[in-house]
Amino acid sequence: MKARYRRRKCPHCKEFFLPDPHNRYHQRCCSKPACQKARKAASQRAWAQRPANRDHWRGPDEVARVREWRRAHPGYWRKPRPRTSVALQVVSTAQPTPNQPVKPESASPALQDVSPMQHPWVAGFISLFTGTTLQADIVAMHRRLIARGREILGMVPGTPIEPYDAQTTPAPRARAPTPTPV
């Protein structure tokens, strides 16, 4: 059977609330953050007004304690200075650039952008073959291997690589000129 709790009126916001079941005997204030803050401030004021607590943080003992703590923690309240100087930034306005076509000779795609390099074994094989793991060396060797394969198959440079079909044999084409090494 569920116990029924009486609703109470919050002394700060004047609204009714159900007290927490664990604190129902002594909860006088609702759980809104503003009411909790006001309750805490009132509680601290009441504590400080009691005759036994009026001189709690005062007196020569407290002054000595604070001085000793400040001596042990120098610069506690100071803001830390920046360790590096901040460089002045010059605001530059955006300038439109004319559209220029990208030249295939100047564009050097990364290893991940090279077409048949989708399989890691290709990069692994080339790195074993060349003895290096640098992407630039692997890409250069990959381009040489593609050019050599096209030369062997009689393909014209610039044509897309089509998957090999074992049932048909490609017609012989004119031999492509030997590419210059990269």
In a domain, 65, yes or no: yes
As a whole number, mean pLDDT of residues 84-97 equals 69
pLDDT classification of 160: cutoffs 50, 70, 90: low
**Any idea which of 62-71, 89-98, 107-116, 156-165 has the lowest mean pLDDT?**
107-116
**Residue 26 in tokens:** 């002594």
In a domain, 117, yes or no: yes
* Beta-carbon-side half-sphere exposure of residue 94 (alpha carbons within 13 Å): 2
What's the domain count of the chain? 2
- Judge if 66 and 113 occupy the same domain: no
As a whole number, mean pLDDT of residues 152-171 equals 64
- Judge if 114 and 182 occupy the same domain: yes
- Judge if 68 and 124 occupy the same domain: no
- Judge if 66 and 115 occupy the same domain: no
Q: Cα(119)–Cα(77) distance, rounded to whole angstroms?
A: 59
pTM above 0.85, yes or no: no
Q: What rounded mean pLDDT belongs to the chain? A: 78
In a domain, 94, yes or no: no
pLDDT per residue as tens digits for the range 24-36: 888 889 999 999 9
- pLDDT at residue number 172: 61
pLDDT per residue as tens digits for the range 103-135: 665 555 555 555 455 567 778 878 887 888 788
**Any idea which of 1-5, 64-68, 130-134, 166-170 has the lowest mean pLDDT?**
166-170
In a domain, 57, yes or no: yes
- Judge if 120 and 181 occupy the same domain: yes
- Judge if 113 and 182 occupy the same domain: yes
Burial of 130 (C-beta count, 10 Å sphere; 0-12/13-18/19+): middle
Q: Cα(30)–Cα(158) distance, rounded to whole angstroms?
A: 77
Q: Cα(111)–Cα(115) distance, rounded to whole angstroms?
A: 9
Range of the structural domain that residue 55 is part of = 8-72
Q: Please determine, for residue 163, whether its predicted confidence score (pLDDT) is greater than 70.
A: no
In a domain, 53, yes or no: yes
pLDDT per residue as tens digits for the range 8-62: 999 999 999 999 888 888 888 999 999 999 999 999 999 999 998 888 888 898 8
- Judge if 67 and 115 occupy the same domain: no
In a domain, 48, yes or no: yes
- Judge if 67 and 113 occupy the same domain: no
Q: Cα(88)–Cα(93) distance, rounded to whole angstroms?
A: 16
